[in-house]
Structures are given as structure tokens and as C-alpha cells.
Amino acid sequence: MDSTPPPSLATVTLKPKRDESIRRKHPWVFSGGIKHIQGNPQAGDWVRVCANKGAILGWGHYAPSASIAVRMMSFDESCPNKEWWMRQIASAVQVRRDLNLFQSEDQNACRMVHAEGDGMPGLIADFYNGVLVLQCHTPGMHRALPILSEAFQAALGPALKGIYDKSTKTLVKNGGEASEDGWAWGHAPEGHFATEHGHRFLIDWEKGQKTGFFLDQRENRALLGSLSQGKKVLNVFSYTGGFSIYAMKAGALEVHSLDSSQRALDVCEENVALNAFPPEQHKSIAADALEFLKADQLSDYDIVVLDPPAFAKRASARHAAVQGYKRINLRALQGMKPGSLLFTFSCSQAVDDALFTNTLVAAAIQAGRTVRILHRLHQPPDHPVNVFHPEGSYLKGLVLRVDD
């Protein structure tokens, strides 16, 4: 790493006492904590971040129109250079290699970089059996695409066949300019699918949600599978059928996948065929989740999965999100038969474990049901949480037994 920062880069100076979190290596500088800016940085530019009295705290990517004005990349006096990027990517890949998450026929899909959790705020990189799908959430990270491509090729070697950039929506959402999604390097192997714990999945990285699949539920899907033999399962907000495939392979008698997106259900049906399950074992239901839950049809099921999209993208939406979680869980608890299991989740960062649990308690009280918590669920280790950034712990879930 170069010892002398480029003199042309701008400097962000923080207000008194607003440097404490940065000294503790929290990676976000909020716009309200900035005292003044020397220079004229544009979206995505590197900026030096200094304490009120001038001490250099580190370097980050600048976002002038966002509440998070700087996302910190380093916490020393040197501006990150090529060698820094190569080390960061190599370290992230090694963590997944040590966890045996992508190098076998039965397991070749995982999250390779999880933003702040891997010290690279603004970058998501998901690996699907040789194809790496990138989502850059900030202009600064998207500018680094060439060096990111080089670093991933070096770290993954022959295991990497192609890198697909899917950043347009995330860049626009975060104040950047639209880019054109497409191959940054290489291409997809023919007949491509990814395997997770021996389950095969088609990954729609071009038109699907996020990078094409939800890798954060891998271990929770495995738990569901371990409890599904001989059971009838309803997978609500099923997307392309992750939980459904695990339940069927584990010997569920029948699985119903419910989603409002017909496209997602079409891919789900393809995944059923890809795993060679008999068609009578599975049924797709295109419907609104809340309307279906109101229809008093849940008493037929032994296990119900509620895995909705994030109801709160920010803290200001927390109250509305809590009401949404209470509503769908109340409907489920009211209709489920005694002895059945409810797998229920929240991926809203603004709703923490305690608040989510309390919301389920309120729903159980209103439903008049006896409910026991059997498991508390979280994101897997390839979605690590930086100890200096607790906000990175976003996925929480409960497995509940519903009795009289």
C-alpha cells in the first residue's frame, strides 16, 4: 500500500466527537457528522476522512446525496491501492474456501463478498458454480470493477468461469448513474445450474431478484428439510422454491409453493423438474400471500414457511414493518393446526431480534395460541457480520411449534 495519499483527493473533516464511531472502525460516516469538506469530491470519489483536529482516520468512497456520506474502506493513513484490493478479495475467498462452500459437486454456491462483513462496503458478490454475480451498491465500488475482476480471477483461479455485473438497479437506488448489466469477464458455462447441499437450482441472475437466488437461507433450508419427512409443507413467499426443494428431497408428502410472481413460480417448477421430483409431489400457487392466509386453508399443513421480502428498508419504516410482520404471522397462527411448525423470518435490518420476537409474541397472544420457540435462526457464515458493524446482522428467524 502506498504510504503517501494522492494530494488531489478531497478531505472530509468530522465535527467534534463525531469521530468516535470511526475510531471504533464503524464503516459509515453520516452526512450530519461532517464539519466541512476540502475539495470538490463527486459521487464515487475517494476521500480522506479526518477528525476535527486533523488526525487522519482513514479512506472511503464518497456519496454526496446519501445519508451515509462516506463508506470507509480503510482505517489508516494510506489510500487503498491495487495491492489492497487483491488482499481483501483473497481474504474473503479464503474464508469461503476454509468453510468448504464452493469446491465440491454437492456444494458450489455461496456468497463470496458480503459488503461490510468483508470490509468492502457497497459490494455483494455471489458465486454460483463458476459464475460470480456482482452487485455494486455505490458508484465508488462500481468504478473498482476492473480491479475487482482481476482480483477475483487471481483468488478463484480455474474455479471461476465468468463474472456478471448486475449493478444497474442498486446503483440508481443509491444515487449513482445507471450502468448496463452484462458480463464483466468470461461467460456462463452451458447447461448451468448451482448446487447447494446436493440440491440443484437454476439461477436467474439476469431477471431474478437480487443476484438470482437467496443464499442466506441455506442452513435454514437444511433445517426445514430435516423436519419435513412425511409432512405437508406450505412455502409462502416461495420465490424460486428454495425451501420447497429441500422439503421434497427430505421426503415431504406434498409441498405447495406460493408466490405472487408467476415468473418465480415458473423457475420453481423448473427446479422441481431439475431435481427429478414427481410432479404430484409439488403444486405452485400464484396468489397474494395475505389473501391466501386469510382463507382458512392452513389447517391442512404440518409446516408453514413465511419468508417475506424486507418490510423495512430503513429505520423510518420500522413501525409499518412490524405491523406487516404481525399481520401475516397472526393469520398463520390463527389458521394452523395444533402440533404444526411455523418457520417465520424477517430480513429487515431495521427490525432486530428482540423486536421481531416481541412481534411474534403479540401475534400469538392475539391469536390465543400456545406457541413455543424451538429454534432461533440467522444468516450463515458466508454472510459474516463485522463486529464493528452490528447492523450487518439482518436475517432473523424463529421456528415455532403451534399448539392449542
User: Over the stretch 160-174, which tens digit does the pLDDT of each residue have?
Assistant: 999 999 999 888 877
Mean pLDDT of all residues in 251-255: 98
Q: Is the pLDDT of residue 8 over 70?
A: no
Check residue 190 and give its pLDDT.
82
| Fold type of domain 10-74 | 2.30.130
Residue identified by cell 432473523 is 396
Q: Which has the minimum average pLDDT: 56-65, 106-115, 188-197, 220-229?
A: 188-197
Q: Which has the minimum average pLDDT: 2-16, 209-223, 321-335, 390-404?
A: 2-16
- Which helix H or strand E contains 126, and what residues bound it? strand 123-128
Q: List, in order, residues 6 or more apart from 205 with CB less than 8 Å away.
A: 128, 131, 133, 164, 166, 211, 212
Q: Is the pLDDT of residue 294 over 90?
A: no
d(CA 193, CA 244): 17
Mean pLDDT of all residues in 204-226: 96
The burial class, CB within 10 Å (0-12 / 13-18 / 19+), for 388 is: middle
Query: Percentage of the chain surpassing pLDDT 70?
Result: 98
Check residue 3 and give its pLDDT.
41
Check residue 2 and give its pLDDT.
46
Domain segments of the chain: what residues? Answer: 10-74, 82-194, 214-403
d(CA 74, CA 49): 10
Mean pLDDT of all residues in 307-333: 89
Query: What is the CATH code for 214-403?
Result: 3.40.50.150
The CB-side HSE value for 260 (13 A sphere, CA atoms) comes to 7
Q: Is the pLDDT of residue 1 over 50?
A: no
Residue identified by cell 448496463 is 180
Whole-number average pLDDT of the chain? 94
Q: How many CB atoms lie within 10 A of CB 28?
A: 18
Architecture in CATH of 82-194: 2-Layer Sandwich (3.30)
Check residue 323 and give its pLDDT.
94
d(CA 377, CA 375): 6
Q: Give the pLDDT confidence of 52-63 residue by residue, as tens digits.
A: 999 999 999 999
Backbone torsion region of residue 282, taken as left when φ is above 0, otherwise alpha when ψ lies between -120 and 50, otherwise beta: beta
